[in-house]
Amino acid sequence: MFRPLLPRLVLVASSLVACSLCAEDVDYQRDIKPILRDRCFACHGVLKQQSDLRVDTGDFLRSGGASGPAIVPGDLKESLLLERVSATDIDERMPPEGDALTADQIALLETWVATGAATPPDEQPQEDPRDHWAFQPPVKVDLPSVVDEPWSHHPIDRLIAAGHREWNLQPVGVVDRRLLLRRVSLDLTGLPPTEEQYASFLNDDSPKAYEHAVDLLLASPHYGERGGRQWMDVWRYTDWYGLGYQLRNSQKHIWHWRDWIVDSLNDDKGYDRMIVEMFAADEVAPTDRETLRATGYLARNYYLFNRTTWLDDTIEHTAKAFLGLTMNCTKCHDHKYDPISQVDYYRFRAIFEPYQVRLDAVPGETDFDKNGLPRVFDLHPEIPTYLHVRGDPKQPDLSEVITPGVPAIFDRGQFEVHPVELPAEAYRPELQPFVLEDQLAEVERVRENLQAELKTANRLRALALQRANTTELLTSLTSDSSLGSAQPETRIWIDDFVTDDAELWEAGPGNWSCTDGNLQQRDIGAERRYMRSRLEHPADFVARLRFRIHGGQKWKSVGLAFDVQGDQEKLVYLSGVSPGSKLQVSYRDESGNVYPSAGRLDRAVALNQTYDLMVAVRDRLMNIVLDGQLVLVYELPVQRMAGFIDLVSFDSLAEFEHVEICRLPEDIELVPTTVAADDNSAKLTLAQADAAVAVCERRLSVCELRPKVLRTAHAADVARAASASSSAEKASELVRAAARAARELELAKAESAVAELRRDLAAARIGNDKKKTTELDKKLSTAMENVKKAAEAIEQPGETYRSLRASLKAPEGPDESEASQLAPYPNTSTGRRTALARWMASPNNPLTARVAVNHIWLRHFGQPLVESVSDFGLRAPRPPQQKLLDWLAVEFMESGWSIKQLHRLIVTSRLYQLDTSRRDADPQTIAADPKNEYYWCRMPIRMESQVIRDSLLTLAGKLDSTLGGPTIDPKQKDKVYRRSLYFTHSRDVQHKFLSMFDDADILRCYRRSESIVPQQALTLANSELALSMAREITARLQEQDGAVSDEEFVVAAFKLLLAKTPTEEERATCGAFLAKLHTLPAVSNAAMPDVRARENLVHALINHNDFVTIR
Amino acid sequence: MNDRRTINRRECLGHMGNGCLMLALNAMLQRDAFAASPSGWAPPDGKPHFPPKAKSVIWLFMRGGYSHLESFDPKPKLNELAGKSISETPWAYVQDPERLKKVRVVVVNDANGQQRKELFPLQVGYHKHGQCGAEISDWFPRIGSCADEIAFIRSMWTTDDNHGAQIQFHSGRHMLDARVPTIGAWINYGLGSLSDNLPQFITIGPRYFDVRDGHYLGPAYDAVPLKIDPANPLAYAKPELDVSSQEQAMKFDLVNHLNRLNEASYPGDASMRARIKSYELAYRMQRAVPEVINFNNETATTQRLYGLDNEVTKPFGMQLLAARRFVERGVRFVQIMHGDGAAGAWDAHSQLKVNHEKNAKRVDQPVAGLLKDLKQRGLLDETIVVFATEFGRTPGSQGSNGRDHHPFGFSVWMAGGGIKGGVVHGSTDEIGFHAEEHPHYVTDVHATLMKLLGLDARRLEVPGQKRLDIDYGNPIEQILA
């Protein structure tokens, strides 16, 4: 049977493979058709017949197209198909997109053709995708008549029971009522029933008891939170993230959109309306902030760096979430399976092409970091959309501008674009009345702060003045006072070191000498050297010395000691040690030398520079003046005593030029420490303090002008916006007023700038920084020139002013200029998104209602009606329950797209109330439909992460049921008992506990995963949340039921946590557990061993399979 | 290997319930003979498809992109041409736009990820090492001392010019495409575990771009993140409130006892059985994991080998010693990410010399220590060590002393089970720009691992999730022993 092929036709590589194949090895259905389907049908199938060729049946292949037959059985040479797929010229080769067929694939085709190209006789051509079940409008079938009594009351039951009967399936019975209430409560509100809720339901014997309980749940605000979180999954909610503080994805304050979702569900807003609002609130309700929140859906897709990525996400997830279409496949080429072309993709993109994102101000907040409303708007209607060749944005096909539209196959004329004229407040949000009020209030807050600053500045100035006055008085006591009012009677002694004065001084250790009017000490090394006065100094005195430090090994300290007597002394010195140069006061007590930090002033100490140090001492209070500045006030904590003065040198080449000691007259008041402690800028000179006061005054003047500026600008803005209809003259008068106010403000600002420069100059002068002084002088003259110009401008105010701003546009890219960001917004919107939304939310759209119903159904039953929830395309086979899906879809639309009503309809069916247990199920039914495709029982559902946490909080009585508001940082230290949907959730910030239980993937989450991994066991076993809530729940159970027996406690705990009554065996097991626990030291030594034991039991039940399961 | 045990183990890590990932539930149902999958598709049974050459992988990933030019791919031409613009050299062709096309830009107009024209000399010298004489930069002398165990691949390429290439190196897909499972997840998915007490896929060290691995395979195939901190090695490893170990043990017992009793009411409830297993494994894991990362019974010689006696090498050394202890105990895939920061520590846009010298000091000793330790214990034959990074760095200079991201050519290496030692495979052109001889896309590394572990990646495909040809890659045959 082995039959080698003619080798001349085929590539060497493929011939080698082909030679090893024979006819038996190739099967058309198995080997050939899949290749053709995957690579050829898109252009040569039912939708498109390029060159008049179809290849979806053998007959089509044999009859061929415009160029003749595609295959000639047995004749490789004449078979165009083979020629084209093995062509090496890229322009010739088929398929034109993607990789060439592999050598193996070509070999299969060759073998098949060579061996006669057999195809089955009854081969069906490719189904017309337009006939695909999901692309046909849903219809309500007549409800089957059902004989079986419990299944005949509810439409869902009747449709399902028909299937049961058809397939001879025996449904299981309904679930126990307690478990039913837990199920429906978790399902509709995400919270378990409390004991009171159980009691009231179980004690209600009326036939409507269940309906009543359902109504209560649907009316609870927690219903919106529960459903909201589910839709947040589908719509890809994420808080903003980026790098550090740079926003790259989504938007700040996107939680407004979350609140809109919750509110909309609680208000039972129609799903069709929700779609319109999410896609186009800015067009249909352009000034309604509540409604504008909806566009967070689009704002969430913001991506700073790449517009195409941003729009790709918008397109992909809009199509998947609302339409169940995988349009993302058509970015680079026509869809391989579905009737959606690449052009359709770019038509869809054109709908979104103009949209951008901005934050609008919300009442009560002017800081966009704190709050703001993220919303969308059309900014660039003029930007054309081009098809990107092979999806490459660098290769736009400029030959044709693509117009907005929906996929051609679904366009039945409902997609109509009408541009929308926007009201002024929509494109100029600053016109909203609250904006002016808020900005005025903000100015007032700033003004209050500035006033406080001015008060401080004035106080500092008073202190500076006091310091300056004291310094002046002290200086005037000394001999070289420039004031000429020297008071010789106070002077005790003075030495200019012209000669060695042995009467005045007695040299201690050190190498001392007196030359040229200087006293020098030349020994270095860490040892004290001093020159001691022969006379004692007065109790209260002023000492002044001028000296230089020329060097030293490390410490380079020079100073003055007083109260020197035996071992005792007080010391003031300047140390050039590096690092750590300083002015320091020290003293001795029983512990030795003390260097108090309050007596320390860090400052630069230069070598070879003359320092002028003046130390005034009254009792224990010291004022130290260095180079004419009172720099340190210190109160000695030790007793004063009579003693001598030492000139001190420590590891320092010291040179003293002048020393004098004066008595401190009683009428001179030193600056007290109480004042100094209050003075956090003791180094401020009077000039600096004056300049600082001037700065505050000028800033305050600026601020005080702002209300007028804001008011006039607002009035002018309003008038301008209205000027089309009212008098232009009045508008222009208001504009001139705004301009005048603006010019006044500019003058005040210019004056403020001058004041600031003067302040800087005063500081630079202290530091003696020549370069800086020169630079500032130059700036000051420019600033003064600006003041002059600003003053002149007031004479000719013109008509320019700055409008209020109440919106912050998200940058269109990382390098967008501020000017472009501040440019006015357009006064029309393209209307494209409204057209899209109306088309999606149209009852004629075959997909929208079905996709939504499927999502809702999935979340009630844990299994969807259509398995691929985000793909209703051709690869989605007709679902077994299509009649039910379609009936519900139509019912949903007829109810005004009421989600609440759909929930009610579903949960009141008998089907919903079936047991999850298969214990008593009919074995034949299990065997016939193990996957439960015909719904003969219910599937257990693992709670979503949020439900697990919220359940724990509820049962513990700890849940804080505050609704809505800003997101909460999950890492914050304080315990937060809000519902889980309020935590910040982004790529970078996740709640640790929630993340362990398959929390929503922010990139795509059409269906939560339900993994079962050991880390989850550890989370429930070891997390503080689970442990602490177990303790709280125990306490509540104890409280509720008083001091009950262990057995009664076990029953109560089972009923509360698992909604079941424990079996005999479970009771016994738990009883034994409690008893055995008492033998453990951790329990028996606990303050209340019983409670501790029961806490362990409750905690174990939290870890029970049925706690995290919706049964 | 005990097959039954393997199956149990897979069940508990398996993806259960009636959630979106039906595949694992199917897997379990099938094993329990409930039903055959209608499509004929079957999930992996945990056994290799053909005889494996190795059992485990230690995956060392240097985040940020180390310079191939200053590590494993010497280009003395750069010293000769330093300061010249590429366009005035015979290698001007490397910047032919056609040849640069493979780049897919994520961040438009970024300051980084640009062409750098002015050639920058090598910042480090090279020496030949081992009998093979492979040239390795002087920043990696100790890795050099293991050259005869290593196969160097000097001809890697990728398409992301930004650090999303980290995702790409692990998954094979560009950041702008859908997220797909990483190589570790595939191996986790495809192979049964060798340990009853430990997760089989572990990740250590900082991740930034994508902290998930399983993606459409499900979170059960995500790596379990561990810290090398015996007191707190994994999330919720010990009670956060005062609970005695006896109390905890009794509670775990009670939980499983009650769940088993509950099986009477819910026969055939797959997720309940999976939960019972998950608690059993959790209980063992919380004890086993701290034991593995406690190095008290490692000799001082071993600790020194990994550089634990030196503050510079200690952090990475501890991670690698833990990795050895994990593979010794049957963990399949240990993924270790080196280098803090959003982009990664090796991202030397400026001061490349300072940066690489510092980072190389942190890893060189521990990595060489790992190879030697594995060898002396006979583990190197069954463990594959991969040393990789997301891309190389530009032959041209960025600023005065850095190199920019470079996706067109870069170097990685592999060693251990089934890998030929002392091999230098593939090459870039003379200025280190393009992978020229035997170019390898990143998934060729994946394919090589799969082959050595006995897996046919195509047989792991999941219904409804189309893998592209490029996702599979091709094994690098030339480096196989």
The string of pLDDT tens digits covering residues A619-646 is 999 999 998 888 899 999 999 999 999 9
Q: How close B222 gets to chain A, by Cα (Å)?
A: 10
C-alpha A886/C-alpha A1054 separation (Å) is 41
> What angle (nearest 5°) sits at the alpha carbon of residue B75, between those of residues B74 and B79?
125
Name the residue among A1107, A1029, A1070, A1090 with its Cα closest to residue B251: A1070
pLDDT score at A1011: 86
Over residues A9-15, mean pLDDT: 39
Res. A927: pLDDT tops 60:
yes
Res. B172: pLDDT tops 60:
yes
Over residues B392-419, mean pLDDT: 96
Res. A868: pLDDT tops 70:
yes
User: Which of A1008, A1013, A1070 lies nearest to residue B19, judging by beta carbons?
Assistant: A1008
User: Which of A918, A942, A1100 lies nearest to residue B251, judging by beta carbons?
Assistant: A1100
Q: Indicate the pLDDT class of residue B170, thresholds 50, 70 and 90.
A: very high
Res. A168: pLDDT tops 50:
yes
Mean pLDDT in chain B? 88
pLDDT score at A725: 60
C-alpha B122/C-alpha A709 separation (Å) is 62
Q: Indicate the pLDDT class of residue B16, thresholds 50, 70 and 90.
A: very low
| A34 reaches B (C-beta below 8 A) | no
Cβ distance of B279 and A1024 shorter than 8 Å: no
Q: Which residues contact A249 (CB under 8 A, 6 or more apart)?
A: A238, A240, A241, A242, A302, A303, A304, A986, A987
**Token pair listed for B131:** 């009998």
pLDDT score at A923: 94
- A1073 CB neighbours in chain B (<8 A) are 250, 254
Q: How close B321 gets to chain A, by Cα (Å)?
A: 24
By C-alpha distance, the chain A residue nearest B210 is A987
Cα–chain center distance at A1110: 32
Q: Indicate the pLDDT class of residue B37, thresholds 50, 70 and 90.
A: very low
- What are the pLDDT digits (tens) for A1015-1074? 999 999 999 999 999 999 999 999 876 668 999 999 999 999 999 999 999 999 999 999
- Best of B10, B41, B241 to disrupt the A interface by mutation (most A CBs within 10 Å)? B241
pLDDT score at B317: 97
**Token pair listed for A1076:** 């055995």
- pLDDT higher for B274 or A960? A960
Res. B455: pLDDT tops 90:
yes
pLDDT score at B108: 74
Cβ distance of B266 and A918 shorter than 8 Å: yes
pLDDT score at A480: 65
**Token pair listed for A622:** 């010291």
- What are the pLDDT digits (tens) for A895-911? 999 999 999 999 999 99
Determine the straight-line distance between the first and last CA of chain B, rounded to whole angstroms: 24
- What are the pLDDT digits (tens) for A554-573? 999 999 999 999 889 999 99
pLDDT score at A21: 60
Q: What is the pTM of this model?
A: 0.81
User: Which of A1016, A1073, A1101 lies nearest to residue B250, judging by beta carbons?
Assistant: A1073
Q: Indicate the pLDDT class of residue B18, thresholds 50, 70 and 90.
A: very low
Determine phi and psi for A520, rounding to 5 degrees: -120, 150
C-alpha B269/C-alpha B253 separation (Å) is 20
Res. B59: pLDDT tops 90:
yes
Cβ distance of A1016 and B15 shorter than 8 Å: no
Res. B144: pLDDT tops 50:
yes
Q: How close A711 gets to chain B, by Cα (Å)?
A: 42
Looking at A698-712, A719-733, B141-155, which range is the least confident one?
Answer: A719-733
- pLDDT higher for A733 or A889? A889
Kindly state the percentage of chain A with pLDDT values over 70: 95
Looking at A100-104, A160-164, B168-172, B430-434, which range is the least confident one?
Answer: A100-104
**Contact criterion met (CB below 8 Å) for B303 and B309:** yes
Q: What number of other Cβ atoms are within 10 A of residue A147's Cβ? A: 9
- What are the pLDDT digits (tens) for A223-282? 999 999 999 999 999 999 998 889 999 999 999 999 999 999 999 999 999 999 999 999
Kindly state the percentage of chain A with pLDDT values over 90: 72
- The length of chain B, given as a count of residues: 481
Handedness of CA A405, A408, A409, A412 (dihedral sign): positive
Q: What number of other Cβ atoms are within 10 A of residue A1087's Cβ? A: 6
- What are the pLDDT digits (tens) for A757-789? 999 998 888 767 788 999 999 999 999 999 999
Cα dist from B265 to A916, A921, A995, A1058, B35, whole Å? 9, 11, 31, 14, 21
- What are the pLDDT digits (tens) for A74-107? 888 888 888 888 888 888 888 887 778 888 888 8
Q: How close A943 gets to chain B, by Cα (Å)?
A: 11
C-alpha B293/C-alpha B306 separation (Å) is 14
Cβ distance of B18 and A1066 shorter than 8 Å: no
Q: How close A987 gets to chain B, by Cα (Å)?
A: 9
C-alpha A999/C-alpha B185 separation (Å) is 19
pLDDT score at A1009: 85
Looking at A842-846, B228-232, B468-472, which range is the least confident one?
Answer: B228-232
Q: Indicate the pLDDT class of residue A30, thresholds 50, 70 and 90.
A: confident
pLDDT score at A26: 84
- B109 CB neighbours in chain A (<8 A) are 813-815
- The length of chain A, given as a count of residues: 1111
Cβ distance of B258 and A1027 shorter than 8 Å: no
- pLDDT higher for B254 or A46? B254
pLDDT score at B35: 33
ipTM of the complex: 0.79
Over residues A921-946, mean pLDDT: 94
Q: E strands within B166-297? A: 201-204, 224-226
Over residues A352-378, mean pLDDT: 97
Determine phi and psi for A799, rounding to 5 degrees: -130, 10
| B325 reaches A (C-beta below 8 A) | no
The torsion region of residue A599 among left (phi > 0), alpha (psi -120 to 50) and beta comes to alpha
Q: E strands within B285-375? A: 333-338
pLDDT score at A425: 93
pLDDT score at B17: 31
Determine the straight-line distance between the first and last CA of chain A, rounded to whole angstroms: 61
- A1028 CB neighbours in chain B (<8 A) are 241
| B18 reaches A (C-beta below 8 A) | yes
User: Which of A243, A1097, A1105 lies nearest to residue B259, judging by beta carbons?
Assistant: A1105
Over residues B116-131, mean pLDDT: 95
Q: What's the DSSP call for residue B168?
A: H
Cβ distance of A1014 and B199 shorter than 8 Å: yes
Res. A7: pLDDT tops 70:
no
The one-letter amino acid code at A277 reads: E
Res. A191: pLDDT tops 50:
yes
pLDDT score at A628: 87
| A1073 reaches B (C-beta below 8 A) | yes
Mean pLDDT in chain A? 91
Q: Indicate the pLDDT class of residue A6, thresholds 50, 70 and 90.
A: very low
By C-alpha distance, the chain A residue nearest B199 is A1014
**Contact criterion met (CB below 8 Å) for B226 and B289:** yes
C-alpha A877/C-alpha A861 separation (Å) is 20
pLDDT score at A1089: 94
Q: Indicate the pLDDT class of residue A974, thresholds 50, 70 and 90.
A: confident
Q: Indicate the pLDDT class of residue A151, thresholds 50, 70 and 90.
A: very high
pLDDT score at A682: 60
C-alpha B461/C-alpha B162 separation (Å) is 29
Over residues A405-420, mean pLDDT: 92
pLDDT score at B27: 38
| A7 reaches B (C-beta below 8 A) | no
Q: Please, is A1034 exposed, middle or buried when counting C-beta atoms within 10 Å of its C-beta (0-12, 13-18, 19+)?
A: buried
Looking at A92-96, A382-386, B317-321, which range is the least confident one?
Answer: A92-96
pLDDT score at A714: 93
User: Which of A815, A862, A1001 lies nearest to residue B109, judging by beta carbons?
Assistant: A815
